[in-house]
Chain A
């Protein structure tokens, strides 16, 4: 790690910027319920609604990191509960490759997180946001990680 990036990491002004892709039926609704339940969680995540985690092409994640996202959260229905029966299983299958690809590109795979949170699991959703925010905060800003 260069001296410069260390400096950025200790800069208290820095806030992680995290993109979250949430499926409409489970996790987006779970995030809605977190709001309705007034569960408080870090402000660092911007949710993008997609119909299904199966919709999330690896490119969506790579492009977000490339454009400067410090982390990416993907949140969908539990395996077996997919609104489209099996899209989340496709997402899960891609995930293993995704992590390897990131590692090879020099990006710490801990910057991305795949989680399952149903429409009723507001707390699990909020906990997931907290987990990735803290994880990414520890890893520091993404710049210069790419090989």
Chain B
């Protein structure tokens, strides 16, 4: 583009962010000093750059002063880079001619008592950014087509909901399930809260619709065995685990709804020592009946005891630090349901968190049914021993400050939700990352909870975190809307910040081919001499190839060696006299 060749005309906008930046460093001084830097034609400090007025100021100055580079020194670019890029674009400036300095997260907020040093750091960072801005080049904004077909991996309640939502909006769905039946865990449960239906009853109308809908293809006993391509254009191989038959599919978007496993709490509360000690999920899977009997001898249960937070909320125990969220309400519901069939129902809890719509009512229902709640201390959990077939439970009641014990006929452990055993395999297949709870990481915990860092791949339900069925369904509809939005638009922008091989420098040594995690580089042997070639739509822009290339033949657009090194130089080798100004 023409403007790239023009002499840089840089505008610098230093943001106060109210008190957030200006309260901890001298933004006025930084803006004044920046005005003296080479190629800077305008520099100002403003209260809120992200406000409408701030964005308008950028647009006005671009037009008024013919700016061809913009630097905003404000918050993290992870926050507002898209905002300011858009403002630049609206004023006719290519989005890649913009650079952001992180003065808030990386300076003012973490150096709150060091005015001078924080100001010096801010000045260094602004100088580095201006130096980089001088070397920026505009890049084309590219789009690719989106194949109008979504693959959903996992057919629990979230997968089913997403499949229906997408099919009802007129797009094709492939539903891949590793087991022989649709419906996941919910299918097996006899009591779903907050309503009083069995899982099978809840799923029935959904399953009927799925069967009827011609747009939905169900693949049972199947796993995704190959996953290639890029957003809108995935090439997927699904393999039937029983027959070994493979099918290749062209897919536009993916929703991963692989869910959770109920934690089998071996090592907790004598689980496994008696058939009369079971998890809440196992209790839910007992056939519905009017009497509750002990699995060991078939005799009626008189004393029913629940223990909460089993394998959840354990600081320092990786994979078990999280609250599993469903258990408090599900336990209260189960205890209330079973109360009339037993003499005594007791819930031993660490805390009660019945937070959801209709959940507090379950807790109240249980109390009105005379279910006994007893709080045990976090640091001294109940002790369970099986002696001559009897289950002895001992604990300390916090509220009465007294040691108590009971012989339980049936002990139910409300155990954690943990990721399925094969989650690592799934994560690798779709290049997903996982958070400390073991579940998949969303792209952003608040702003983008359903999309992932793999563009075109969404997550929903308990694959993202422990959650109950209603929450999983909310997720599923959200992820379906994301997938539909992509497919309805028909095309999607892809990053232009990709690798590019300079043919003259390439010796076709294949180093980059092996370095690339995405198989995006091949060597074109048709050419003489052969050269490496990047498939841009596959390239994610990590730059591993550029660092590995022994000939320096790979250019990373928007992250060139030159653009990076010039920042280091601006930081370390700055002399105001030579650069022609500044009062550092």
Contact = CB atoms under 8 A, between A and B. Distances in A.
B76 interface: yes
A12 to B, nearest CB: 14
Given A54-B547, A67-B568, A84-B544, A29 B78 contact: yes
A87 B573 contact: no
Interface residues of B, number: 53
B76 A90 contact: no
B543 A55 contact: yes
B433 interface: yes
Contacts of B235: none
Contacts of B547: 54-58, 90, 94
Interface in B66-82: 76-79
Contacts of B124: 46
Contacts of A68: 572-573
B515 interface: yes
A48 B568 contact: yes
A83 B427 CA distance: 11
Contacts of B105: 31-36
A40 B111 contact: yes
A54 B125 CA distance: 23
B546 interface: yes
A48 B566 CA distance: 11
Contacts of A15: 117
Nearest to B116: A43
A83 B453 contact: yes
A94 B104 CA distance: 33
Interface string B59-94: 000000000000000001111000000000000000
B544 A36 contact: no
B433 A55 contact: no
A121 B325 CA distance: 23
A36 B517 CA distance: 32
Interface string B351-369: 0000000000000000000
B226 interface: no
B571 interface: yes
B559 A120 contact: no
Interface string A88-111: 001000100000000000000000
A6 to B, nearest CB: 23
B556 A63 contact: no
Interface in B258-303: none
Contacts of A87: 517, 542-544
A92 B146 CA distance: 36
Interface residues of A, number: 49
Interface string B103-118: 0111111111110011
> Which of A32, A50, A81 has the most CB atoms of chain B within a 10 A radius of its CB?
A32
A147 interface: no
> Which of B433, B436, B573 has the most CB atoms of chain A within a 10 A radius of its CB?
B433
> Which of B107, B431, B544 has the most CB atoms of chain A within a 10 A radius of its CB?
B544
B542 A54 contact: yes
Contacts of A73: none
Given A43-B118, A55-B542, A84-B540, A63 B78 contact: no
A83 B431 CA distance: 8
> Which of A34, A49, A126 has the most CB atoms of chain B within a 10 A radius of its CB?
A49
Given A32-B102, A32-B105, A63 B568 contact: yes
B131 to A, nearest CB: 11
A50 B435 contact: no
B559 A50 contact: yes
B322 interface: no
A59 interface: yes
Contacts of B548: 90
Interface string B418-442: 0000000000100101111000000
Contacts of A57: 546-547, 561
A38 B78 contact: no
A135 interface: no
B121 A43 contact: yes
A1 B322 CA distance: 53
B564 interface: yes
Contacts of A19: 568, 571-572
A91 to B, nearest CB: 8
> Which of A67, A87, A126 has the most CB atoms of chain B within a 10 A radius of its CB?
A87
Contacts of A90: 515, 544, 547-548
A52 interface: yes
A123 B114 CA distance: 19
B128 A46 contact: yes
Interface in B529-555: 540-544, 546-548
Contacts of A83: 433, 453, 542
Contact of B542 (A34, A41, A51): A51
> Which of A46, A57, A68, A94 has the most CB atoms of chain B within a 10 A radius of its CB?
A46
19 contacts: A32-B102, A33-B105, A34-B105, A35-B105, A35-B110, A51-B542, A54-B544, A54-B547, A56-B547, A57-B546, A60-B568, A67-B568, A67-B569, A69-B568, A85-B431, A87-B517, A87-B543, A90-B544, A90-B548
Given A84-B540, A87-B544, A90-B548, 14 more contacts: A31-B106, A35-B104, A35-B107, A49-B77, A54-B515, A57-B546, A58-B547, A60-B568, A68-B572, A69-B572, A81-B433, A83-B433, A86-B544, A126-B110
Interface of A: 15, 17, 19, 24-25, 28-29, 31-36, 38-41, 43, 46-52, 54-60, 63-64, 67-69, 77, 81-87, 90, 94, 120, 126
Please list the 3 inter-chain residue pairs (A to B) with the smallest Cβ-Cβ separation, ordered nearest first: A55-B543, A35-B105, A54-B544
